[in-house]
A and B are shown apart, each in its own frame.
Chain A
Amino acid sequence: MRVAILVLIAASTMIAGAKRLADTARLSYHFARLPGMETRRATLFGPWYESVQRLRRETPPDATIDFVMLRPEARDIAVLGAAELQPRDVRLFDGWTAWELRTRAELLHDARAANAAPRPPPSPARFVVVVDPTAAEPLHLQ
């Protein structure tokens, strides 16, 4: 009885996890043939990542960059792009109006949560980047 229960638990867990494990192994095997981590990242993450790497080359590490998100779906790649561009000071704005008003984007939509640290509105950045996931170049310098 105990053995039967053990087999059942182990088998159900293994069957559930095996598919994802096999997918991970297959993906790893495929990616192992790609030269270098940079190529693997570009392949895995897609066009936005290549755009960000281009921005990385075109802007100095101490740059200030305004990201203007043209649509709500731009948020994910804007946030990921800002992380990739560290230590550049990237600020996020929801559209051109917010950018002109220097009102930073709210990422947590809860009145009880804190958004950007309470500081004076940021002065215009040295670089302005338009973020649009539907564009051929999802993040491009204005």
Chain B
Amino acid sequence: MIALALFLVVGVAVALQLRLPLPPTIAARIAFVFLLGVGAHGAILFALAAVGVPMSLWTFLAVPLLSLVSFGVRRPRLRFPIRHLEAGSIASALFALPLLVLLFAAAVLPIRDYDGRVTWLPKARAIALERSTTGPFFHGERGLNLHNRYPLLLPLDAATTMVLSNDTRNEAARWLYVLIPIAALIVLRAMLIMWFGATGAWVAAAMPWLGVMTAIEGGALAAYSDFALAAFLGMAVLYLLASLDDPLALRAVGLFAAFAVLTKNEGAVLALAILSAAVFVRRVKSIGEWMWMLVPVAVAEGILVYWRTLVPAAYDEQYEVLVSSLPASLDRVPSAMLAILRHAVDVSEWGGFWIAVAAAIVVGAVLERSRRYAILLVTMALALAAYVVALSVTSWRVDELAAVAVNRLLVHLIVPAACMLAMALRKTEPSAGVTPHP
């Protein structure tokens, strides 16, 4: 837990230095700076390691220490005043209950998901033991390096907790993984209530109950990186919406998009989706805004591409080869779309969530038609289109791959989907036009 406090320190420093607007409640601010710290710390370590800086104990401590020093340089400037948000006690209790169960389970249960144990945590352990992202493990000389070129932001954060707790067992990184989805939901809830009032509170209350939260594979108790990706995309979306009222919020969008790039391969697609929404819908205007959007993502892509030249592909899908085979796989596109649809409407897994989101998209098209609506729609539509392509071009049978992958891909989109839902529901209120909301 001490190691996790380091992420808070880094997050606070980044938020202050970049003058990022913060969410409206204390809990959401803590959650937001935690996510910011997880992303910034991992991204900076990724860059340092890629250029050959030895990963000594001091390297792992360097970012938090520099963050502490930075507190003396710039005083806080809070853009959103802290507010007490009226959520209603029942909605609050329903929101909190599943999260408390998750925390209890995280304290007791071993990490048990397959991909976390064989892919992500061995990377973290290798970094903690070899103090390098290009060491023997990543050259196939010391252990089974599955998906060798997967991005390393989360493994670097996990390695930090391992090094600082002097423990390389899987559970050393447990709190990092479980706190990410919890933090994302806390920020989402605060923003939904701020924008949509009681409607937002009830939509937020439903989110921690989603079956995927407690799924063994890819759930909040797993060491997959899908919830981290969902959290980073979610923060980027929330801040892109907030940027319509406060241009400073745009600074966080590029950062979180960059973190997504460095978290999973899908992150590049999601970053592209959010950048497209920013450019074509939010209409980024000044050079400064362009820089805040594009530079972090370009740097992240640069780090990733450069690091990948240093380590061989091993047990990796070659996506550039796969995507180039799309013309030959076009006949699989309908079955890929159907597979996603089938999983989204699986009531036993998602309840009525995605069905309601689909209805919300239709309602929004009729009643909303705002830039907020378009941002959410463009982000989700581009991401889903990319996932249809990904399912179509693999050599797996579509239904087999969908069975293990689609729910995790849908997880990436839960924040924009929840916003869409709350926005549409709010729009149906008789007083919807009176209260300012995005």
Residues of A within 8 A of B (CB): 1-2, 5-6, 8-18, 20-21, 23-25, 27-28, 31-32, 37, 40-41, 44-45, 76, 79-80, 82-90, 92, 107-119
Contacts and interface: CB of A to CB of B under 8 A. Distances in A.
B428 to A, nearest CB: 5
Interface in B236-250: none
B206 A13 contact: yes
23 contacts: A2-B425, A10-B203, A11-B351, A12-B351, A13-B353, A14-B94, A14-B206, A16-B211, A16-B349, A20-B211, A37-B169, A44-B110, A45-B112, A83-B143, A83-B144, A86-B126, A87-B129, A107-B146, A108-B317, A110-B317, A112-B317, A113-B315, A116-B140
A12 B352 contact: yes
A115 B146 CA distance: 9
A41 B214 contact: no
Nearest to B432: A2
Given A6-B202, A114-B315, A116-B140, 15 more contacts: A13-B350, A15-B351, A16-B209, A16-B347, A17-B208, A21-B213, A31-B108, A40-B110, A45-B112, A88-B143, A90-B144, A110-B317, A114-B314, A116-B315, A117-B145
A83 B122 contact: yes
A94 to B, nearest CB: 14
The B interface, classified by DSSP as helix, strand, loop or mixed, is helix
B321 interface: yes
A17 B214 CA distance: 8
A43 B157 CA distance: 29
Contacts of A13: 206-207, 209-210, 350-353
A24 B122 contact: no
Contacts of A92: 144
Contacts of B352: 8-9, 12-13
B400 interface: no
Interface of B: 94, 98, 101-102, 104-105, 107-110, 112, 114, 117-118, 121-122, 125-126, 129-130, 137, 139-146, 148, 169, 171, 199, 202-203, 205-211, 213-215, 221, 312-318, 321-322, 325, 347-353, 356, 394-395, 421, 425, 428-429
A129 to B, nearest CB: 13
A18 B321 CA distance: 42
Main secondary structure of the interface of A (DSSP, over half): helix
Instruction: Kindly name the residue among A9, A12, A31 whose own CB sees the greatest number of chain B CB atoms within 10 A.
Output: A9
Contact of B199 (A6, A8, A112): A6
Contacts of B109: 24, 27-28, 31, 40, 44
Nearest to B102: A24
Contacts of A115: 314-315
B112 A44 contact: yes
A31 B110 CA distance: 10
B408 to A, nearest CB: 15
A6 B425 contact: yes
A109 to B, nearest CB: 7
Contact of B108 (A40, A114, A118): A40
Nearest to A32: B108
Contact of B125 (A25, A86, A108, A112): A86
A31 B125 CA distance: 25
Contacts of B206: 9-10, 13-14
A12 B129 CA distance: 46
A142 B74 CA distance: 63
Nearest to A5: B425
